[in-house]
């Protein structure tokens, strides 16, 4: 391959590489869209789960309150029985014992009432939290719908761009020496899509290896395709292929 032909091929190769990098970036953006939507959806579902758990906790608190109320009513029945017995006991000892039981039952009910009040306060607080969370959930749902729509629109634009770049690559690769293209593809796969780099002074633009003077001269003369001894990338001189 002569100098002029090599320069022409290197120019085309640089175009192909730019297209490939754009294709890679576009594909990365496309790949991120489903994960973005899934992440936002998970956040929404987790918030719904919080509300559901709060509702279950309210049910538990309500059940606890009812059980306490049943216990109070049972104690009230016991108090009625004790009070009625006060008029029929025959000894002071029995009378004192009944008074003690009455006081003890009243004390129990007082504690139970405190427990009920605490349960009701917790339930009211949870109800308030649920109301606030439901309002927040509506905002999150609206935000999710908006972002999902934006991502779907972005996906459409990116797919169109990807198809356009694929077509552009097909047209461009038809103009290059096929053996050089195969070499480029092999190097590109091994180096994250960067197969062609320029000299940066006296170092490789890909891995910063210092390139010997003789090799640099050959690169500048464009006498043949030269690759970096360390990273294997094709080296070119910027001035030669402007």
Give pLDDT, residue 87.
87
Strand order in the sheet with 203-204: 203-204, 196-200, 234-236, 226-227
Give pLDDT, residue 156.
97
Give pLDDT, residue 101.
94
With a CB cutoff of 8 Å and minimum separation 6, the contacts of 240 are: 7, 10, 220, 222
Mean pLDDT by 10 residues, the chain (242 residues): 90 96 96 96 95 96 96 96 91 93 96 96 95 95 96 97 97 94 95 94 96 94 93 94 78
Give pLDDT, residue 240.
84
Q: Is 2 exposed, middle or buried (0-12, 13-18, 19+ CB in 10 A)?
A: exposed
Dist CA 14 CA 93 (whole Å): 109
**Pairs from 38-46 (Cβ < 8 Å, separation ≥ 24):** 40/144, 40/147, 40/148, 41/144, 43/140, 44/137, 44/140, 44/141, 44/144
Residue 12, Cβ neighbours under 10 Å: how many?
A: 20
Give pLDDT, residue 2.
85
Find, among 214, 187, 215, 216, the residue nearest to 201 by Cα. Answer: 216
Q: CATH: 3.40.1350.10, 1.20.120.160, 3.90.1580.10, 1.10.287.1490. Which one for 23-172? A: 1.10.287.1490
- Residue 196's Cα: distance from chain center in Å? 35
DSSP structure class, residue 238 = G
- Tell me if 209 sits within 8 A of 201, measured CB to CB: no
Q: Is 44 exposed, middle or buried (0-12, 13-18, 19+ CB in 10 A)?
A: middle
Domain with CATH 1.10.287.1490 in the chain: 23-172
């Amino acid at each position: 391959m002569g100098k002029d032909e090599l320069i022409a091929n290197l120019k085309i190769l640089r175009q192909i590489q730019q297209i490939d990098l754009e294709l890679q970036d576009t594909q990365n953006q496309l790949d991120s869209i489903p994960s973005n939507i899934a992440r936002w959806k998970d956040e929404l579902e987790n918030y719904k789960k919080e509300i559901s758990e709060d509702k279950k906790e309210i049910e538990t608190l309500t059940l606890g309150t009812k059980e306490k109320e049943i216990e109070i009513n049972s104690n009230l029945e016991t108090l009625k029985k004790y009070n009625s017995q006060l008029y029929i006991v025959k000894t002071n000892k029995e009378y004192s014992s009944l008074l003690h039981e009455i006081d003890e039952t009243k004390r129990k009910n007082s504690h139970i009432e405190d427990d009920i009040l605490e349960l009701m306060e917790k339930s009211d607080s949870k109800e308030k939290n649920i109301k606030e969370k439901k309002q927040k959930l509506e905002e999150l749902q609206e935000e999710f719908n908006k972002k999902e729509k934006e991502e779907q629109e972005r996906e459409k634009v990116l797919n169109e761009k990807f198809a356009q770049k694929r077509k552009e690559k097909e047209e461009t690769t038809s103009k290059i020496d096929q053996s050089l293209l195969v070499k480029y593809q092999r190097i590109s796969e091994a180096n994250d899509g960067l197969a062609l780099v320029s000299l940066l002074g006296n170092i490789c633009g890909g891995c910063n290896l210092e390139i010997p003077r003789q090799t640099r001269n050959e690169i500048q003369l464009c006498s043949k395709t030269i690759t970096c001894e360390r990273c294997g990338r094709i080296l070119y001189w910027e001035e030669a292929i402007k």
